[in-house]
């Protein structure tokens, strides 16, 4: 039986643990807070993040990372992206020699502008064949209800991607393999920023034309950055690109979209953070995405506009006006 450790009892870590258990894996779910871990074990529920959902019997929770990692074939990382480096530094000495690390995180590290798999390889000291990523249109509340969804599991080693595919394939969750780790990660990280922009448009009461424009031009920005960093442009037309972008930009279940809606309605950053109980990765990652783009000479005006609103305090309507006033260009650019 495949054994999996899942680090993070939050709104995505717990549903992914459900997927693994439903696929027949033995799952150890690590959590920081003893009271939540005890509740999960005693009631088979996670009332803080998945109220009303019964967890499969194949899941046990623990606060001890050594217990979680004992004999693990896969170590799934589902913590906020900006905390990965510190957390993994503590867990890395406990890893088995063949344990594959799987990133569920969709962010770019501030300062270093490294993708999550780059951080994992650096901190854990492992090769590309032991690091994988899961990315796609995976709104956690829908998956927790076992509604049909698909995703991409990517690893530089196709055989490892296939092993992970088998470990998380269920009647309701269909994973596709890919070896384009860069493209899958960038699609997941940058779509959060575009989701903020579309949410702001919603909050301002703008219509579908505006939102469609932001999504398609946002996809163009994602693709430009991806190609500059060596990704396969076809990745962005698939689940890890367009698929994830559509879900994030159009669903009220999307944390980034909801965060953007509140900003578009005139709430300040502080007010929006106070009203948001869960992590909206795009809020912090928008700065690192823009930094990464500038270091590589890639123009990303929508990302820059989001940074202007979120971190420079400019009103969304003023930023939108500036976007529309930019010089016209051929669509292919």
Q: Which residues are annotated as a binding site for substrate?
A: 106, 255-256
Q: Which residues pair with 7 in a beta bridge?
A: 30, 77
Other beta carbons within 10 angstroms of residue 315's beta carbon come to 14
What tokens appear for 321 in the block? 């006006």
Of the candidates 85, 165, 152, which has an alpha carbon nearest to the alpha carbon of residue 117? 85
CB under 8 A, 24+ apart: contacts of 64-68: 64/30, 65/5, 65/7, 65/30, 65/90, 65/91, 65/94, 66/94, 67/28, 68/5, 68/6, 68/7, 68/28, 68/29, 68/30
Q: Where are the beta strands (DSSP E) in the chain?
A: 3-7, 26-30, 59-62, 74-77, 100-103, 131-135, 149-155, 173-178
Residue 86 exposed, middle or buried by CB count within 10 Å (0-12, 13-18, 19+): exposed
Contact 145, 320 (CB under 8 A): no
The token pair that represents 150 in the structure block = 């698909």
What percentage of the chain's residues is helix, strand, coil (to nearest 5)?
55, 15, 35
Of 34, 145, 191, 211, the catalytic one is 191
Residue 145 annotated to the active site? no
Which helix or strand (DSSP H or E) is residue 123 part of? helix 116-124
With contact defined as beta carbons under 8 Å apart, do 161 and 177 qualify?
Answer: yes
Alpha-carbon distance values, 124 to 77, 91, 101 (Å): 12, 9, 9
Annotated binding site for NAD(+): 8-13, 140, 255
Active site residues: 191
């Amino acid at each position: 039986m495949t054994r999996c450790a899942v680090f993070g009892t939050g709104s995505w870590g717990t549903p992914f643990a459900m997927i693994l258990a439903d696929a027949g894996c033995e799952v150890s779910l690590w959590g920081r807070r003893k009271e939540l871990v005890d509740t999960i074990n005693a009631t088979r529920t996670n009332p803080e993040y998945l109220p009303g959902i019964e967890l499969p019997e194949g899941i046990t929770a623990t606060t001890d990372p050594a217990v979680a990692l004992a004999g693990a074939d896969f170590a799934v990382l589902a913590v906020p992206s900006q905390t990965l480096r510190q957390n993994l530094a503590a867990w890395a000495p406990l890893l088995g020699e063949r344990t594959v690390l799987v990133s569920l995180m969709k962010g770019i590290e501030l300062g270093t502008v490294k993708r999550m798999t780059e951080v994992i390889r650096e901190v854990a000291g492992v090769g590309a064949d032991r690091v994988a990523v899961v990315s796609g249109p995976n709104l956690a509340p829908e998956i927790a209800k076992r509604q049909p969804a698909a995703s991409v599991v990517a690893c530089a080693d196709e055989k490892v991607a296939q092993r992970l595919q088998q470990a998380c394939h269920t009647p309701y969750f269909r994973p596709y393999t890919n070896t384009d780790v860069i493209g899958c990660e960038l699609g997941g990280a940058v779509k959060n920023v575009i989701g903020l922009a579309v949410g702001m448009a919603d909050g301002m009461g703008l219509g579908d034309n505006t939102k469609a424009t932001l999504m398609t031009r946002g996809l163009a920005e994602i693709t430009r950055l991806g190609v500059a960093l060596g990704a396969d442009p076809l990745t962005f037309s698939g689940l890890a690109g367009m698929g994830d972008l559509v879900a994030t930009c159009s669903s009220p279940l999307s944390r980034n979209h909801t965060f953007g809606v509140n900003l578009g309605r005139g709430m300040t950053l502080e007010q929006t953070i106070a009203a948001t109980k869960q992590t909206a990765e795009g809020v912090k990652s928008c700065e690192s995405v823009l930094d990464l783009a500038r270091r590589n000479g890639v123009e990303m005006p929508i990302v820059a506009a989001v940074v202007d609103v979120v971190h420079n305090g400019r009103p969304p309507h003023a930023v939108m006006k500036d976007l529309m006033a930019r010089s016209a260009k051929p669509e292919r650019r």
